[in-house]
Structure 1
Amino acid sequence: MSKPIALAADHGGFELKEAVRAHLDEIGVAYKDFGSFDGASCDYPDMAEPACRAVVAGECDKALLFCGTGVGISMSANKIHGIRACCCSDAFSAEYTRRHNDANALCMGGRVVGAGLAIYLVDLFLNTPFEGGRHQRRIDKITDLEQRG
């Protein structure tokens, strides 16, 4: 990965983000942390936006986003044109959302997923390529839906 990974979390996902951040440090993956930085109460849409905009702008390769359940931050992320965010808590979904959906944002819940599983899912997500082929047609249709609003 030549570009850093965008990280962001609200208070509900702060501890999980910190565990993932430490893992990225350990394996030498660059990242840009968009906060939160102390776990104080904050709103997941406010945290998702700058991280996702960095991905869309090409400043970051992918985003790893965290809130209490992973759902709210994924809903927020998917409102940003060009983001294909998935909320995952299992290995199959984390792998195949990259293979088939070319997801560029992985969302997880700090109250749903433990640190060990989260790190495993992050590694799967970051290291699984998009297969292209027949799946590209479907991504193009998602993009078309997005363009039409």
Structure 2
Amino acid sequence: MKIAIGCDEAAFQLKEIIKEYLIQRGEDVEDFGVYDTKPVLYPDIAVKVSKSILEGKNERGILLCGTGIGMAITANKVPGIRAAVCHDPYSAERARKSNNVQIMTLGARVVGTELAKTLVDIWLKSDFAGGNSTEKVNRINEYEKEFLNNCK
């Protein structure tokens, strides 16, 4: 699977660990930064990862910051992207199965290294379940299109 990954300076160390873990799993990883602990504007990273998914360059994305919240907010501003903060196994699974998210976000100040690896595993092996969730995800997409059309 082709996976985009990106973070801010608060999550640099965890991103490096998760990136190496993904590579060891045999995943194809594209790193959108950051590459050190120098402060950055994390929305720039979130948008780059989101665009790579929309353009089909990557299938899924993992974004990390201090809490995961800012990255999720930013990614969700990109039309066509659904992102969710995943801090426990159930949310990681349901993010995919119920909401068909393309991007999981993690908080480096919230989850430890081993839990982060577990959440990544759960999220990557989960697929959209469809069923009753299909109508809900379709409604999200309809609202997104409606808002975009009304803003023109």
User: TM-score scaled by structure 1?
Assistant: 0.96
Structure 2 counterpart of 1:9: 7
TM superposition outliers: structure 1 runs of 4+ over 3 Å = none
Structure 2 counterpart of 1:60: 58
Higher RCO (CA-CA < 8 Å; seq separation 6+): 1
Task: Return 5+ residue gaps in structure 1 as ranges.
Answer: none
Q: Please state how far the C-alpha of 1:85 moved relative to its aligned partner.
A: 0.3
Q: Please state how far the C-alpha of 1:72 moved relative to its aligned partner.
A: 0.5
Q: Secondary structure at the match of 2:24?
A: helix
Aligned-pair Cα RMSD in Å: 0.8
The residue identity in structure 1 corresponding to 2:134 is: Q
Given the alignment, which residue of 120, 123, 131 partners 1:122? Answer: 120
The residue identity in structure 1 corresponding to 2:11 is: G
In the alignment, structure 1 residue 29 sits paired with structure 2 residue 42: no
Structure 2 counterpart of 1:93: 91
Q: Please state how far the C-alpha of 1:108 moved relative to its aligned partner.
A: 0.6
CA displacement 1:72-130 (0-9 Å, x = unmatched): 01100000011110011100000011111101100011111111100100111111011
Percent identical among aligned pairs is: 37
Instruction: Provide the rounded CA distance (Å) in 1 between the counterparts of 2:16 and 2:146.
Output: 37
Structure 2 counterpart of 1:69: 67
Q: Secondary structure at the match of 2:128?
A: coil
Q: Please state how far the C-alpha of 1:39 moved relative to its aligned partner.
A: 2.0
The residue identity in structure 2 corresponding to 1:44 is: Y
How many corresponding residue pairs?
147
The residue identity in structure 1 corresponding to 2:10 is: G
User: TM-score scaled by structure 2?
Assistant: 0.94
Given the alignment, which residue of 72, 76, 96 partners 1:78? Answer: 76
Instruction: Provide the rounded CA distance (Å) in 2 between the counterparts of 1:23 and 1:120.
Output: 11
Q: Please state how far the C-alpha of 1:14 moved relative to its aligned partner.
A: 1.1
Instruction: Provide the rounded CA distance (Å) in 2 between the counterparts of 1:137 and 1:97.
Output: 15
Say which one has the larger Rg: 2
Task: Return 5+ residue gaps in structure 2 as ranges.
Answer: 148-152
Q: Secondary structure at the match of 2:105?
A: strand
Q: Please state how far the C-alpha of 1:67 moved relative to its aligned partner.
A: 0.5
